[in-house]
Structure 1
């Protein structure tokens, strides 16, 4: 079963975020708290939404997503930030069901595209996405500014 998350799901969402970070060997980067997730997902100005995959009443996966905007298309886009299914639950269709529900949301909301990133070493995920019809864009590179670099550059604004 795929469903939209509620504020009651925040502890499960945080557990899945930590499990994703473990899988990607990035646990040291996880500093988010339940309080932050509750505010940012379910507060007065939600920044993102979450779909949950359940199997026999247990949360086994999630997709965290938000809208961006394509100036070229003149339409919103749906951006998938995280997709994760617990390793012991893989191969049962949960990931595909989450992606299909996101694609349905994108179409229903008038989005011109549905996008996400994948780590270059994650061959199983790349093969899975390509099997669904996703095209990887080698010509685009992610730019990121965080921490001190972000603070330093922000200080140059008039």
Structure 2
């Protein structure tokens, strides 16, 4: 079952984010706190949205999708950028990942959004195969750039 996350899901989402960071071999980089997640998802001006995949038998959260809106100047409409898609290893193969992506695609179609985009680590071949089987195609002509930490502060005027 896929459902929209509620404030009561913050501990589960936080735990799943930590698991994803471990899977992506970057546990020290996932520093978001439950309080930050609550503010981002349920604050006065939500910046992101989340859906939960539940085990059909236990009702336990076994996966999540966390996303936000982007905008295409070329198409003139919003799209969804999928920041995280994660399903616990023991729950993989049961359709939770596909159900989460299906829900986001449904939201895109319903709201007139024309893109559903995300990034995947180049070594994550199981996920790449899964995404390509759904019809997703890599955007190899683009290189992602990122400013963080000291470089962001220096450019932004922080001493």
Superposition TM-score, scaled by structure 1 size: 0.97
Q: 1:17 maps to which residue? A: 17
Q: 1:153 maps to which residue? A: 155
Answering whether residue 65 of structure 2 is matched by residue 28 of structure 1, we say: no
Q: 1:93 maps to which residue? A: 95
Structure 1 unaligned blocks of 5 or more:
none
Note the alpha carbon deviations across 1:15-73, whole angstroms, 9 max, x for none: 00000000001101011111111111100011100000001211000000010100000
For the residue of structure 1 that corresponds to 2:68, the secondary structure is: strand
Superposition TM-score, scaled by structure 2 size: 0.96
Provide the aligned C-alpha RMSD in A.
Answer: 0.9
- Tell me the distance in 2 between the aligned counterparts of 1:17 and 1:76: 25
- Tell me the distance in 2 between the aligned counterparts of 1:96 and 1:154: 39
Q: 1:37 maps to which residue? A: 37
- Tell me the distance in 1 between the aligned counterparts of 2:128 and 2:91: 18
Note the alpha carbon deviations across 1:97-122, whole angstroms, 9 max, x for none: 00000100111111011100000000
Q: 1:65 maps to which residue? A: 67
- Tell me the distance in 2 between the aligned counterparts of 1:16 and 1:59: 9
